[in-house]
Structure 1
Amino acid sequence: MQLKKYVLSSLVALGLALTVPLSARADATSGAIAEADILPGWRAPDGTHIAALRIRLQDGWKTYWRAPGDAGIPPRLDWGYSGNLAGARITWPTPVVFDQNGMRSIGYKNEVILPLAITPKRDGRAVKLRGALDIGVCKDICVPQHLKVRATLPADVTTRDARIAAALAERPFSAGEAGVQTMRCRIAPTPKGLSLALEIDMPSSGAPEVAVVETGLSGVWVAEAKTRRSGGTLFAETRMQHVAGEPFMLDRSALRVTVIGRKHAVDIRGCSAR
């Protein structure tokens, strides 16, 4: 049933992308449902340039995190037309968990600043950042948005931007920062894929706690995890299958679990056998 919802939401998103007129799409200057721009940031002592992608939404609208849930649309970002760019890594601030028609989605509302760690190809020179962003935004309906952003990131600016610094501070805690002791997992085959049971020894992040599981595998759907806590241990159970019905292998070391609680979120990587 959950896989049907995943396929349905994907088809709906594709249908919207094909049928929404160009006038309903937004770019950095349109003033429509969603706008995006680049905060140029500063050049760090190690040569990395710290910038940010800022997305602003009209009141009541929301957009989605990297793992958006069954009711969400995953964001896609392409920096392919940039100059002097060797790589760009996003730091995702802690998202909000939404209930959408009985389905869970994960994302942001109003405004979100996504810090970028930019690696220039040539040190000491400006980066000409050009990006194309495809996101879903939802209120009473969901509408795909295609946004284009551009900015020149100068090499001689070293003053930190307080807005970007604040967004960096909003990232989930690492396992070490949050006091996570161990994360154990049991993986078992099912008729259509795999089941996953997790035991995470960690202090409470504030009830209710939601565990979001990412496999790092393309085309693998992961169901909403059911979570419960007993003392200092958080338990989570989910199942997964390939959307095309193909076999797949799960690498324990690549498993990523984000626990989103009322007080804070925690980013945990890799699990040991249970």
Structure 2
Amino acid sequence: MTMPVTTTWIRHGKSESNETTSLAKKGTPHPREAALKNVHTSKRRLTLLGIEQARQAGIWIERDMQQRAAVLAGQTFQTRYFTSPYVRTMETALETGLRVKWRPDTRLCERNWGIVDHLTYDKQMRIFRKELRRRETDAFFWTPRDGESLLQVQGRLRQFLDMLNRQCSQCHAYISSHGETMWAGRSLHEYWMPEELAQRMLNEDKDLQNKMLNCRIVQYSRQKDDASAELDDHICRVRLINPMRPDDSTTNLDWQPVRRREFDPEELRAYVNQFKHYLRDDTV
């Protein structure tokens, strides 16, 4: 058993929630923001831009499938399609234009933000500003009030990936999901330490190649290189695609190696020495 030949994650297109948050951060809140926040996050739709992003993602996916089929000619692989049951991810799956059947899976849902998700951006900042700052430093372990930590999101994603491992080894898998769910997924696939996840999330506005854009595509592969039909036993490469600008080197990241993280004693020492002691050395 091993992971699919390719595992391709697609973040949903720009949603109405994304739009109202963006406007509020600019100081021009949408007049219907409060009404939107009264609707559960699972029922919020895509914007017109989000629909166009999904269509461009579909064009990229079709082209990718054709190129991969040509290289892997003679080998038979099925293709499976999965989606979070949230409306915005199912709408993204629809608007890709792919004439396929998508399987909803609750393990792909967005991180639960609890009470915070039902407040306008202005109220979030007034009531939870200090608490939200901890997300920047403790991204992996921090839990929104009545919500989920990314560690908890990882727990359900592990179950989903275990299913892919058991059932989809001879498949290509496409997954319509959410931004923070995909951050948690990247940390699993790429063996990140908690601090690395926090740093990447904090710096994403400066690192546009890794920024979790709407309809960002993150693709993992066991194929050893683009021209070869030889497959590794494990995921060995990852790349990030911006389907709105697939040729833009500033927002796309070409194939990078994926390596399991291991520490020898010297590396363990270097890691722990990044963190300071809070008690004196002579304190028992």
- TM (normalized to structure 2)? 0.24
- Higher strand proportion (structure 1 or 2): 1
TM-score (norm 1): 0.24
